[in-house]
Chains A and B, each alone.
Chain A
Amino acid sequence: MRYPLLIAFIISLNSFLKAQDCTGYHKYHCPYGDYSFYTSQQSTSALFRRGQTSEFNMVIYGDEDYYIAVCGHRKLGDLHFRLLEDNKERNVLYDNAQDDFSESIVFTNEVTRNIIVEVTVPESGSGKDKDLRCVGIVVQFRETGETEPKF
């Protein structure tokens, strides 16, 4: 074969042009809360690069308990997520780095508010991994105190 480099280039171009459609990733890859929770439409998935930080602006209702989980491909390592108040101060309400990079959190919310779920995918140790991968966010809710399974 006289064109090995060209063929290798074409194959690598093919791989590069293949990115991931992340729609629904969270449904099949993220842990869910127990059966006392309903799933919120605000659950979502998105495409991330190494070292990327993205924000997910959401509304959480008052007098509800929330379960939020953030997950991604194991090759991404520990995902860092924070819950921030959506205002000028952007106060940190929760930081999973202070919680051993826990994948999920349950909390009670007393007043309806906007929050930002800020997700950061760590840089690759070698700096060589340029893969694009999916990250999912599961948001579930229940009336505060309603801890009985629904099903």
Chain B
Amino acid sequence: MKAKFLALIILVGFVVISCKRDSSRKNDNDTKDITLGIEDIERDIQKVYIRFPSPEEMFTFIDSTGLQYDNSLLLPVSVYDKYLDSKSRALNLGTYIADLAYITLFQQYKETMDYFQVVYNMTENLRISPALNESLMNRIEKNVRNIDSLKVLSGIAFDDISDYLIRNDQEKTFVLISIGGFVESLYIAMNIIDEYQVGNETIQRVADQKLVFDNLIKYADAFKGDSDIQQVIGILKPVQDVFDQLHLEENDTRTGRDDKGQLVFSGGNRYIFSDSEFEELNQAVTEARKKITSTN
């Protein structure tokens, strides 16, 4: 009787261990079974998910042909190893990712490779380098003169990092990377605008960042119990204050079809900057960027 009971205990143990091994073994990109408790399952079935575009998506609309490339806007590659704690490493991995998106836009080949290397080094410092595999880095090297391929590959790199972090319960790090990337892309966008002009499409894209910012903060709020996230949300408060002041121009949204039969969403509300709000935001973003990229 005792022997059978013991066998049963061993069987239970085997079942539990097999579940855990299952989760650690299958860590590639396909659908995976992992062991979850009932509470984990309930937690994972969410009703609302918040998403926001990457820095690269923000830059896509910019027509670089009429603009001057300015590398003084970038965080120098030489400082990447001055970030010694995980918070500043994550934030500035985001900064470098946004810089890379800007460099790619202007087809600066040498700097593209330098910044990709720094992005990889930062993932190593954060101990998340398995997120970026060697074949991706090789593809980047081979396609360094093809802007469209580079855009796709840097998108894949960002996506691989986010998937890796989510899969490994490090979503908090993803929040910090996203905030660093958001601030840097806003900083660059504001600094490539020569002067405030009503109707300028880059200025409108900056005003549109209020929607991205709101989603980013809602997403970060889920981790506000974490002191690093709380501190970084504090750094963003002046930016939020300016965004909250923006005037909302209200228009009805219309749906229709164009002459090819494609669905079109037109009209709708949009946020508008005044000259002074634009300047206030510029100052708030510059200050936030200074705090984030500080090596002290």
**Chain A residues proximal to chain B, CB less than 8 Å:** 2-3, 6-7, 10-11, 13-14, 17-25, 27-29, 38-44, 46-49, 52-59, 61-65, 85, 87, 91, 93-94, 105-114, 132, 134, 139, 141, 143, 150-151
Contact A93-B151, Cβ < 8 Å, known A17-B36, A23-B163:
no
Interface-side segment among B46-54, B234-242, B275-283: B46-54
Q: Which residues from A are CB-within-8-Å of B29?
A: 24, 27-28
Q: How far is the CA of A141 from the CA of B61 in the complex (A)?
A: 11
Q: Is the CB of A151 within 8 A of B30?
A: no
B residues less than 8 Å from A47 (CB atoms): 41, 44-45
Query: 8 tightest A-B contacts by CB?
Result: A112-B208, A107-B263, A41-B54, A42-B51, A150-B148, A110-B266, A19-B36, A108-B264
Output the least CB separation between A147 and chain B (Å).
Answer: 10
Interface residues of B in 32-59 (CB under 8 A from A): 32-38, 40-41, 44-54, 56-58
Q: A17-B36, A21-B34 are in contact. Are A113 and B269 (CB under 8 A)?
A: yes
Q: How far is the CA of A24 from the CA of B32 in the complex (A)?
A: 10
A18 to B11: give the CA distance in the assembly, Å. 17
How far in angstroms is the closest Cβ of chain B from A17?
6
> Which stretch from B73-81, B86-94, B152-160 is at the chain A interface?
B152-160
Q: Is the CB of A19 within 8 A of B61?
A: no
Chain B residues with CB below 8 A from A93, complex form: 253, 255, 265
Residue of B nearest to A134 (CB): B31
Contact with A along B261-276 (1 / 0, CB 8 A): 0111111111000000
Q: Do A111 and B34 have beta carbons less than 8 Å apart?
A: no
Specify which chain B residues have a CB less than 8 angstroms from the CB of A39 in the assembled complex: 152, 155, 159
Say if the beta carbon of B212 comes within 8 Å of chain A: yes
Residue of A nearest to B211 (CB): A59
A sample of 19 cross-chain residue pairs with beta-carbon separation below 8 angstroms, ordered by A number, consists of A10-B11, A18-B33, A24-B29, A28-B29, A44-B49, A57-B51, A57-B218, A58-B215, A61-B58, A93-B253, A93-B265, A110-B264, A111-B268, A112-B208, A113-B253, A113-B269, A114-B214, A143-B60, A150-B148
In the bound complex, residues from chain B placing their C-beta under 8 Å from that of A11 are 15
Residue contact B265 to A110, C-beta cutoff 8 Å: yes
Contact, CB under 8 Å: B49 / A21:
no
A112 with B265: in contact, given A10-B12, A49-B45 (CB under 8 Å)?
no
Q: Name the one of A44, A55, A59, A62 contacting B204, with C-beta atoms under 8 angstroms.
A: A62
- Indicate which residue in A7, A24, A27, A109 contacts B265 across the interface (CB closer than 8 Å): A109
Q: How far is the CB of B9 from chain A (nearest CB, A)?
A: 11
Return A95 CB to nearest CB of chain B, in Å. 11
Partner of B264 from the list A25, A53, A107 (CB cut-off 8 Å) is A107
Closest chain B residue, CB of each to CB of A94: B263
Report the Cα distance A109→B263, complex, angstroms.
9
**Do the beta carbons of B49 and A17 come within 8 Å of each other?**
no
> For the complex, what is the distance from the CA of A106 to the CA of B149, rounded to whole Å?
22
A21 and B265 contacting across the interface, CB-CB below 8 Å = no
Q: Which of chain A's residues have a CB closer than 8 A to the CB of B22?
A: 18
Q: Is B53 a contact of A42 with CB atoms below 8 Å?
A: yes
A17 and B267 form a contact (CB under 8 A): no
List B contacts of A134 (CB < 8 A): 31
Q: Is B4 an interface residue (CB 8 A)?
A: yes
A59 to B236, CA, bound (A): 20
